[in-house]
Amino acid sequence: MFTINENFVKLPGSYLFSDIAKRVAAYTAAHPDQSIIRLGIGDVTRPLAPAVVEAMKQACDEMGEAATFRGYGPEQGYDFLREAIAENDYRARGIAISPDEVFVSDGAKSDTGNIGDIFGKDNIVAVCDPVYPVYVDTNAMAGRAGEPQSDGRWSSLVYMPCTEENGFAPALPDKKADMIYLCFPNNPTGASITYEGLQKWVDYALSSGSVILYDSAYEAFITEDIPHSIFEIEGAKKCAIEFRSFSKTAGFTGTRCGYTVVPKELTCGGVSLGALWNRRQTTKFNGVPYIVQRGAEAVYSAEGQKQIRETIAYYLHNAKVIREGLAQAGFTVYGGVNAPYIWLKTPDGLTSWEFFDELINRAGVVGTPGSGFGPSGEGYFRLTSFGSLENSVAAIERIKKAF
Ligand code: PLP
């Protein structure tokens, strides 16, 4: 009789967004005339940049001609895209990353989830709390998280609370941690990290023999003088892997393209982690479509850059409207400066879910309860700037009137 991976059975159901949908449906049924504004959305809404669309159309035409048709491509990505990434996202910032350290993929969810394949089962994993749930759940699937506890935590994970008290910047773990997941700019808190702050993590990882798994999916939203890449930090190439994505940078959430950088200097017991990741990817992944990679390449063209910057500026303007409007309404707000996420403190000691109900009932606005991202998210609430400007403005007007 076969058995299953029992770790999957331990995973709690992922109810956050279905619970939200149920409550919204109940509210709409009771108030059919009241329109709902959704500021909980984690997906982009603006279309692909014209330069990207044009490049994809051309690639499509190439695929329709025998002379230029392409079948399986290199699992690590085409040279043209690896070269464009190394040049524009790294060398242009003075970071020496070579194209063969770049592994193109179908996105940062896959890569942050799959990276665990190359690490030992007994590694101790540290995660921020609140957190992007993929890091936790994939380690639970791999058997590194231990048992789920009644407080929503896992017995074997090291949690690094990110709260108002520490400015949503986690303290170095107080217990041994081998694999440390960091995400800056952060989802869900919208917090960012300074050069000095990140240097502390790199120094810690180097001295304790840990690896930092650095998710930089929101790098394109950085407006201040803070690190865009962990590889701007001295010593990071010996202790870090970086994940990036075209999803939020260029609207590729439905198109799917991202990449992971594994520096050659990153080794463990003389074994190259890049070689392991290459082995993992060439065995389990067959590459991103040529058409999509040509679209991603066009993000780096002069036109592409101008167009994606306009879209990011649009979302950041929404973030400003939301952040400043909430502050005027008396809320304590964080994030929204280097990130598309606004993290607000629930008023009057309300729980995240109590505030969810208040917000929909009093203002017809929907967001995401912070507790859905981990126990330290309790008492906080996430709004996003990925909607339209009209809706962002209208939501804030309603909130100002209601609260
Ligand atoms: N990492 C973080 C922190 C995210 O918030 C998301 C998406 O919301 C992802 C990764 C996934 O990105 P992708 O669309 O590239 O899979």
Predicted confidence (pLDDT) per residue in 219-278, tens digit: 999 999 999 999 999 999 999 999 999 999 999 999 999 999 999 999 999 999 999 999
Range 380-397 average pLDDT: 97
pLDDT digits (tens, 9 = 90+) for 145-162: 999 999 999 999 999 999
Q: Quick check: 205 and 211 in contact, CB under 8 A?
A: yes
Which residue, judged by its Cα, is nearest atom 2 of ligand 1?
217
Asked whether 258 lines ligand 1 (CB < 6 A), one says yes
Quote the ligand 1 centre to 386 CA distance (angstroms): 14
Pick from 248, 256, 338 the residue to mutate for probing ligand 1's pocket: most ligand atoms within 8 Å of its CB: 248
pTM for the full predicted model: 0.97
Q: Identify which of 189, 247, 382 to mutate to test ligand 1's pocket (most ligand atoms within 8 A of the CB).
A: 247
Secondary-structure class of domain 14-43+303-402 per CATH: alpha beta
**Residue 173 gets which letter from DSSP?**
P
- Cα atoms found within 13 Å of the Cα of residue 162, Cβ hemisphere only: 30
| Average pLDDT score over residue span 385-400 | 97
Provide the greatest CA pair distance for the chain.
67
Q: Is 187 in the pocket of ligand 1 (CB under 6 A)?
A: yes
pLDDT of residue 141: 97
Sheet of 368-369: strands edge to edge? Answer: 333-335, 341-345, 380-384, 368-369
Closest ligand 1 atom to the C-alpha of 183?
A: 3
* Residue carrying the six token digits 């699992």: 75
Q: Is the beta carbon of 247 within 6 A of some atom in ligand 1?
A: yes
User: What is the rounded average pLDDT of the residues 372-382?
Assistant: 96
Residue 217 Cβ contacting ligand 1 at under 6 Å:
yes
Q: State whether the beta carbon of 183 lies less than 6 angstroms from ligand 1.
A: yes
CA-CA distances (angstroms) from residue 256 to 286, 289, 292, 348, 386?
Answer: 14, 9, 8, 41, 18
Could you name the CATH architecture of 53-300?
3-Layer(aba) Sandwich (3.40)
pLDDT at 14 over 80: no
Which residue is closest in CA terms to ligand 1's atom 7? 109
User: Looking at ligand 1, which residue's alpha carbon is closest to its atom 11?
Assistant: 109
**Ligand 1, atom 8, residue with closest C-alpha:** 42
- According to the model, what pLDDT value does residue 344 have? 98
187 CA distance to ligand 1 middle (Å): 9
What is the residue-averaged pLDDT of the chain? Answer: 97
CA 349 to ligand 1 centroid distance, Å? 30
Give the start-to-end residue ranges of the domains of the chain. Answer: 14-43+303-402, 53-300
Number of the ligand 1 atom closest to the C-alpha atom of 42: 8
Instruction: Give the percent of the chain with pLDDT over 70.
Output: 100
pLDDT value of residue 296: 98
How far apart, in whole angstroms, are the C-alpha atoms of residue 385 and residue 318? 5
Is the C-alpha dihedral spanning 377, 213, 109, 296 positive or negative? positive
Identify the pLDDT of residue 56.
Answer: 98
Ligand 1 center to 264 CA (angstroms)? 25
Residue 15 has pLDDT above 80, yes or no: no
Q: What is the pLDDT of residue 257?
A: 98
Cα–Cα distance, 87 to 90 (Å, whole number): 6
Is residue 174 predicted with pLDDT exceeding 90? no
The residue-averaged pLDDT of 56-61 equals: 98
Question: What is the mean pLDDT of the segment spanning 46-56?
Answer: 98
Buried b (16+ CB within 10 A) or exposed e, 362-376: ebbbbbbbbbbbbeb
CB atoms < 10 A from the CB of 151, how many?
Answer: 7
Band of residue 301 on the pLDDT scale cut at 50, 70, 90? very high
Alpha-carbon radius of gyration of the chain: 21
* 194 C-beta neighbours (distance < 10 Å), count: 14
pLDDT of residue 311: 98
What pLDDT sits at residue 13? 83
Distance CA 29, CA 20 (A): 14
- Distance (Å) from CA 144 to ligand 1 centroid: 21
Rounded to the nearest angstrom, the distance between the alpha carbon of 283 and the centre of ligand 1 is: 23
Residue 132, ligand 1, Cβ within 6 A = yes
d(CA 134, CA 221): 21
- Expressed in angstroms and rounded, the spacing between residue 134 Cα and the centre of ligand 1 is 9
> What pLDDT does residue 60 have?
98
| Ligand 1 pocket residue status of 42, Cβ below 6 Å | yes
- In the structure, what pLDDT confidence band is assigned to residue 43 with cuts at 50, 70 and 90? very high
Cβ of 249 closer than 6 Å to ligand 1, yes or no, is: no
341-345 and 333-335 as β-strands: parallel, antiparallel, unpaired? antiparallel
* Residue-level pLDDT at 378: 97
Mean pLDDT of 82-106: 98
